[in-house]
Every structure is written in C-alpha cells, then in structure tokens.
Amino acid sequence: MVEAEVWQLYRDMLRSRLFEEAVTDLWEKGKISGELHLGTGEEAIIAGVVSQLEEGDAMAVDHRGTPPFIMRGIDPVLILLEFLGHSKGLCAGKGGHMHLFSKEHLAASSGIVGSSGPAATGFALALKYQKQKKIAVAFFGEGAMNQGMMLESMNLASVWNLPVLFVCKDNDWAVSTVTNNVTGGKLIDRAKGFGIEGYEVDGTDVEAVWKVVNEAISKLRNNDGPQFIHAHCVHMEGHFLGDPLLRYHRNPTMLVEAADSLKQYAGESLDEVFLLLRKIGGQLKKKFDPLVVTQKKLKDNAERLKQIEEEVTKEIEQVVYKTLEIFKGGVKDD
C-alpha cells in the first residue's frame, strides 16, 4: 500500500464525516425528520472496502448507508435531497436515509437487520450467471449475525461458491444491548463453520482494513469462494442520532429526572445505569475515532492535512447550499 492511497482514504473518510456532520446539523434544525442512523466511527471500514471496488461490483448495505454511498461516488446532493424527502432525491424522496438505491452503482441499503446478506448473495449469484468477474459486498453489524437470513445467506454463498465479501462492523452493541450478553461464540468461527475464510481486524485503522480486504478481494476475484471480515469499531453517535444513552453520558445532570426511563436499558438501579453509561463513554475516546487514528499517521505533513480539510469542507458546504436551493426551488437540479 503506497502513501498516496492512505491520503486518498483519509480524504474519503473526511468527506463522509463532514457530510454526516452537515446532515446532523439539518436534523437538529428540524429539516430532516425521523431517526437517523449515522456511520460516524465506521469510516475506516467503509473506506478500506469501497476504495477497492471496481465498476460493476455490487454493494448491499444496512441502515447506515450514508458512508458507503458517499464513498462509492453517488451524488451527495441526491442523497441529501433524499434525506429531506424531496422528489428529486436519489429515490424520489421515498426511501429516506435507510432505504437507498442506485441502479447505476448496483448499490442498495435497507433498514431490515440482516437483509444485506441475502441482497449481496443475490447480487453475486446474478454476477456469476452473467460470467462477470465482479464481486458483491454485504455490510452489516454484529447483531445481524444472529439473524437467520444472514446465516442462510452465508451458507448459500459457500455452497454455490459465490463472490461475496461479508463485512461485519462490530461495535459491541446491538442497539442498547451489550452484544456479549446475547451472542455466543466467536463470529469468525461461525463464518469458518460455513467453510468461509475469515479475517479479524481493527476497524479504526484504515490501513489495516485495506490490507486484509485487499487479500480477501483478491481471493474473491480468483473464484476462491466467499470471504468474511470481522472489523471492530465504535459508533460515535450511538445507535441513532440523539441516542439517549449518549445524551445522558454527555450531560449527567439529566439522569435525575430520567432515571426511570433509563432503567429499560440497564436494570432496576441507578448504579446499573451509571455502569452502562461508563461503558458507553469509554468507547467515545478519541483513540477510537478512525479519522484521529489516520491523522496521527499523517501528522508529519500538517500542511497537507489542513489543505484537504479546507477543500473537503468547502465541497460539503457547496453540497448543502445547492441541496437547500433545490429544496426551496431556487435553482434547477443539473
């Protein structure tokens, strides 16, 4: 892996992060309604995979579709218009942030947990029938590994020798449940049980992700059967934007009036609530932020880091401006 690729990966990650920060701002202002499931904290995993996809490769995504769609080169204005519910959005304003689709890019996302498994397996089966040396990727969280459709998809992909890359983004939490409390064994062993080769990697280190994904994709394109990536990460905004667990961690004084409602997450005592919040807070340290991890590796060229930040910031500002002008009817969509 050459240095130029690391810089490009960082740019991709920053572009996704700043786009989601702009989305957060619009959501907080009430311009985007409903829940938002952000991919902040997953950027290194997404960049390490999507940067190695070729034209004609397919991508099935979970409810955190923004980073992979942004990094795949799908028009961010169309994505943002979709979030705003506009008829000129990527899916005519009917999909929202969870149900995105781009036929041109063979990319689809869904809010149904585990559905990226059968979607990616279907993509791969079609590609195999067409005798194209292309691959399909399934992105999902570790909670989806307890869904029958995911395991069934892995089984079929193995039996039919399909070119599917299963990418598990593990943040140790299944919504508000600690994963170890509901998941037995090692996930990589589940993949191996289907005869699928597996790799475990630090999902905050984009270089490490890129390297294991490069090996896995090389095998996929060589018709060596499906591959499995188990990448560990954090969700910087919790399960969804405005997650109450994070709000209470950031502002503990709110706990007194919210103690009763918080018991649904942790149990019957405030001690248990505080223990849960400490676990949440421990994940949010900067050492787990993939952008910070990469910035430290590139710190010797602070000037270039600053230049990239300025360029990407300006780009995202223009995306937001154009989107809002279209939304208000001020300009025509090109």
For residue 315, being part of any structural domain is answered with: yes
Q: Are residues 221 and 275 in the same domain?
A: no
pLDDT digits (tens, 9 = 90+) for 78-106: 999 999 999 999 999 999 999 999 999 99
- Calculate what percentage of the chain has a pLDDT beyond 70: 84
Q: How far is the C-alpha of 249 from the C-alpha of 199, rounded, in Å?
A: 33
Q: Are residues 28 and 74 in the same domain?
A: yes
DSSP 8-state code for residue 135? -
List the CATH number of the domain containing 152.
3.40.50.970
pLDDT digits (tens, 9 = 90+) for 217-240: 999 999 999 999 999 998 887 777
Q: What is the DSSP string of 262-311?
A: HHHHH-SSHHHHHHHHHHHHHHTSGGG-HHHHHHHHTGGGHHHHHHHHHH
Residue 5: pLDDT band (50, 70, 90) is: very high
- Asked whether the predicted pLDDT for residue 277 surpasses 70, the reply is no
* pTM for the whole structure: 0.88
Q: Are residues 162 and 88 in the same domain?
A: yes
Is the separation of the CB atoms in 237 and 246 below 8 Å?
A: yes
- Asked whether the predicted pLDDT for residue 330 surpasses 90, the reply is no
Structural domain including 254 reads: 244-283
Instruction: Output the CA torsion 229→234→237→243 (10° steps).
Output: 90
Q: Are residues 63 and 109 in the same domain?
A: yes
Q: Which token pair is 178?
A: 């600690």
Q: Are residues 105 and 205 in the same domain?
A: yes
For residue 334, being part of any structural domain is answered with: no
Q: What's the total number of domains in the chain?
A: 2
Written as one letter, the residue type at 229 is: I
